[in-house]
Amino acid sequence: MKKSLLVVSVFLLMLVIVVATTPAPRILFAQGTDPASIYTGLVAAQNAHSTDAAAAFFADNATVVVGGQSYTGKGEIAVWLGNQTAQNFHDDPGTPQITNNVLLSQDKITTDTLTKEGVPSATENIQVVVTGGKITTYVSRLTLPSDAAIVAAVAKITPPTDPVAVVIAFQASQNAGDAAKSATFYADDAVISGLPSTSANGIYTGKDAILAYLQSEVAQHIKIDGAVHVLVAPNTVLSTARVTNDTWTKMGIAPLDVYTYLVISNGKIEQQIINLTPVSLAKLAAASKTN
């Protein structure tokens, strides 16, 4: 009897050890290497907000193009996917059309920003190229009706007074290429301390000078992507983003990482200090020597 109890005890102990050391089952997001399976898995990982799992579907040298912004390589693509997670991104995929290794799908997208703008969802045309079981190219562009709906929704938004909301609305107007609207976010005596160039010292004071500066930014087709905003003081916002303009694109260094301090008072920008990160500053300096 004692021997039987000993055998049972040893068996139960071994069972506990096996259970304790057996890893939890991993969620599988794809079962094949064909374009349909890969895209289904990617969307599932995106909707689960699993950045690492979603990034695993891309080739090491893959390229993602979303609107006017591009991301190359897994590092940059992981940043893009992380921004999706922060925005509670959700993709309701359409019926894919597949030709060889190319998949086309028209999907409905929802994000926190779209919801705040009063747009329930946006429709995007997505093209995915799969090679060797990995996505090598991913291109997503808004349909014309969705683009128009977002522009109309943004135009109806009441100007905010919360510092972070002011910065978000201001950057949206910059991305829309509306210098006149961007200028309305500044106080009459506002000061911008921007990046100096061969033709300007980077300091702009008052609405006229600031409007001229903003118009020059629009002419350069400035795009601000992946912005993250932190309220570092009651009226001061730190905004970090990846920024593209024509000059940096021609130099082959776009986008560059920019961090900006904005001081907001009564819903208006009173001071703006724009800087490049050390790595981006080094890239610009090196490119300037060869151009």
Asked if residue 96 has pLDDT above 70, the reply is: yes
SS3 content of the chain, % helix, strand, coil (to 5): 40, 35, 25
Domains in the chain, please, with CATH?
35-148 (3.10.450.50), 159-290 (3.10.450.50)
pLDDT tens-digit readout, 12-44:
334 333 333 444 444 555 567 899 999 999 999
pLDDT tier at 247, thresholds 50, 70, 90 = very high
pLDDT tens-digit readout, 106-163:
999 999 988 988 899 999 999 999 999 999 999 999 999 998 888 888 777 666 678 9
Cα distances (Å, whole numbers) of residue 177 to 76, 180, 235: 25, 9, 26
91, 109 Cβ separation under 8 angstroms = yes
| Phi and psi torsions of 248, nearest 5° | -65, -35
Asked if residue 80 has pLDDT above 70, the reply is: yes
Joined together, the tokens standing for residue 42 give 């990617």
